[in-house]
């Protein structure tokens, strides 16, 4: 049986992840900002024109490009970017969810993984 690691695309990791290896809000904002900058540069578009094509306000595009904590892009707007410019336009965001962080396979990491699985099974049995 194929595992997620065998099936899913592994893009090179560009953005930092949280302590536990998951995408963070900061990495999402940085990826979205990169998407906006690349779309504008590749297609030689202004914030106003990108906003028209995507169906949002010019301020939304400007905010998303700044990569500040209060500027989270609506997921529907991100999907509209993919619709307007192609799926590859949102590759920086896709890389956040299509690849799991890899841990070096050593005897210690294998033992840690086995211990986590055993502990989870014990909790399941006790419940």
Domain of residue 45, CATH code: 1.10.260
d(CA 2, CA 5): 8
With respect to residue 113, please indicate whether it lies within any of the assigned structural domains: no
The reply to whether 62 falls in a domain is yes
- In this structure, is residue 73 part of a structural domain? yes
Q: Which structural domain range is residue 76 located in?
A: 20-101
Please check whether residue 43 lies inside any domain of the structure.
yes
Per the CB < 8 A criterion, the answer to whether 92 and 14 are in contact is yes
E-assigned strands of the chain? none
Q: pTM for the whole thing? A: 0.63
Q: How far apart are CA 60 and CA 73, in angstroms?
A: 7
The total number of structural domains that make up the chain:
1
Q: pLDDT tens digits, residue range 10-67?
A: 444 455 555 556 778 888 888 999 999 999 999 999 999 999 999 999 999 999 998 7
Per-residue pLDDT at 85 exceeds 80: yes
């Amino acid at each position: 049986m194929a595992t997620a690691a065998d099936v899913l695309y592994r893009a090179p990791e560009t953005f930092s992840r949280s302590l536990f290896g998951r995408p963070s809000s900061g990495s999402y904002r940085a990826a979205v900002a990169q998407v906006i900058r690349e779309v504008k540069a590749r297609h030689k578009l202004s914030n106003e024109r990108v906003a028209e094509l995507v169906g949002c306000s010019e301020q939304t595009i400007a905010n998303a490009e700044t990569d500040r904590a209060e500027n989270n892009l609506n997921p529907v707007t991100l999907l509209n970017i993919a619709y307007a410019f192609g799926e590859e336009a949102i590759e920086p965001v896709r890389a956040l969810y299509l690849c799991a962080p890899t841990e070096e396979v050593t005897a210690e990491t294998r033992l840690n993984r086995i211990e986590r699985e055993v502990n989870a099974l014990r909790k399941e049995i006790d419940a």
